[in-house]
Structure formats: C-alpha cells, structure tokens
Amino acid sequence: MKGLKIIYEPKGRAREYSPLAANLYRGCSHGCKYCYAPNCLQVNREFFYSNTKPRVNVIELLRRDCEKIASGEVKINKGDRVLLCFTCDPYQPIEKELRITRQALELFNQFDIPFQVLTKGGLRAARDFDLYRQGDAFATTLTLRDDEKSLLLEPGAAKPSERMSAIQRAKEKGIETWISFEPVLDPESVFHLLEKTHSFVDFYKVGKISRFPPIKSIDWGAFGRRIVSRMEELKKNYYIKEDLRKYL
C-alpha cells in the first residue's frame, strides 16, 4: 500500500488468503521443500533456509505503518486483517529468542488493527495467544498426516500432531481458527487431517500445489469434488482456491 513500508496488499493467489499482509523475517529455517518463497524472491533456496534474520528496522517501520493507519493517513477496510506471514514463518525457531512476532502483535493491539497468523510453528505460537482479541485469528498449514513423512519435506517445522495441538489450544482460548490445506501433497492426508480437526477449526482454505511434484498423481477434479462434499457434510465454512476451483 502506498505510504507503508511493511504492511502491503498481496496480489495473485496470495490475495485469496488475505487483503493485507506483513513479512517480518527474511528467510525461513523451516526448510519446506515445496516452499514457493525462494523462487518468488529470486534467492538461492539453501541460502533462504540457512540465513534467517529479521527485516531491517522491521518493528520501527511497522509502528510507523500502524500510526498511519490509525490516524487515517492510510485507509484500510474496517475488519481487514493483516496476515503474518507469506514469505517466511512468523514462528520459526529464531522467534523464540527475538520475539519479533510478539512485538508486531502488540503493535496491532495498540493501534486496534486486526491480524491473523498463519504458521507451521506449532506450540511455539501458543506463547502469544494472550494477545488475540475478537476479530483476530490463528491458522496453521497442514499437508501430511504422518510426522515422519512431514520431517522429510518440512524438516524445521513443527510436526503435524503438534500443529493440531496448537490450533486446538487456540480454539479452547476462544480464538478464531482456520487451516490451510495447501499445498495438497497427498489427498488422503487431507481427508484424515480434516476428520481430526473439524471439531475445533472454524474455517478451511484448500488450494492445489505450486511447482512441486505431489507424492503421487492426483486427479484434481475428483479431489476437489470430494473435499467440497465432505465439507458440506460436516457443515464447515471453507474456501476453494481458484487454482483448484477450475477443476470443479
């Protein structure tokens, strides 16, 4: 957005996730093999995984952004949430020490700006659940049901079982919750994870996959119709992203 340094308006497929976003770190030590960010940012993949650091003056610049929004100098739609984060994970291991994400959430609270967090950090994120207010949301990405298979493709991320524990704990604290099923690497894992989580998740977003081979060949039309049918049966709120919707 014009006049802002950290908060921005996502474009393309990212826009389907959030009207506003902020990236607090450069790089991500979760090391997910399917991560789109290195290609998007045009940086070496191994460098991206191993050289994680906060963006320069990120909290100071974010404060200025929040001040401009609060004063009306930069206008956003009422209720629009700022998503953390698209090109990094807000709860990768370095956050435990630096607390950059916690400082960002405190700023959003101070200036009454709604936020949502999307992370594979699992229970690392639970430390900050005290900062969520009505209108904020906590989300996690789930791809595989098997912790060991996840370790191969998402080596630095929390295990799927821990991510589910984190989002269940968030729900127990009254926080709005959602899950991203993107990328879809294995359809059967998605359905297994849906059954395990639907009692404590408010909303689901389902995408396809980007520039990474799935575990096995996927009939996207069949998968899309099946996931829609099951969501309807469970009476869950959901969103099918455009890249999958076109197969329906």
For 152-196, the pLDDT digits (tens) are 999 999 999 999 999 999 999 999 999 999 999 999 999 999 999
For the ranges 52-66, 81-95, 199-213, the lowest mean pLDDT is seen at: 199-213
226 closest CA partner among 234, 210, 34, 147 = 234
Q: Residue 214's pLDDT band (boundaries 50, 70, 90)?
A: low
The rounded distance, in Å, linking the Cα atoms of 167 and 161 is: 10
Residue 210 has pLDDT above 80, yes or no: no
At residue 27, the pLDDT reads: 96
Question: In sequence order, what are the residues at sequence separation of 6 or more whose Cβ sits closer than 8 angstroms to the Cβ of residue 126?
Answer: 166, 169, 170
For the chain, domain boundaries? 12-179
Residue 74 has pLDDT above 80, yes or no: yes
Once rounded to an integer, what is the mean pLDDT over residues 101-107? 98
Mean residue pLDDT of the chain comes to 95
Residue 215 has pLDDT above 70, yes or no: no
The rounded distance, in Å, linking the Cα atoms of 51 and 27 is: 6
Residue 247 has pLDDT above 90, yes or no: yes
The rounded distance, in Å, linking the Cα atoms of 126 and 129 is: 5
* CATH ID of 12-179, from 3.30.70.1140, 3.20.20.70, 3.30.1280.10, 3.30.950.10: 3.20.20.70
Measured in whole angstroms, the distance separating CA 174 from the mean position of its chain's CA atoms is: 19
Helices (H), 198-248: 220-234, 242-245
Token pair 């984190």: residue: 166
At residue 12, the pLDDT reads: 80
What secondary structure, in 3-state letters, does 147-182 show? HHHHHHHCCCCCCHHHHHHHHHHHHHCCCEEEEEEC
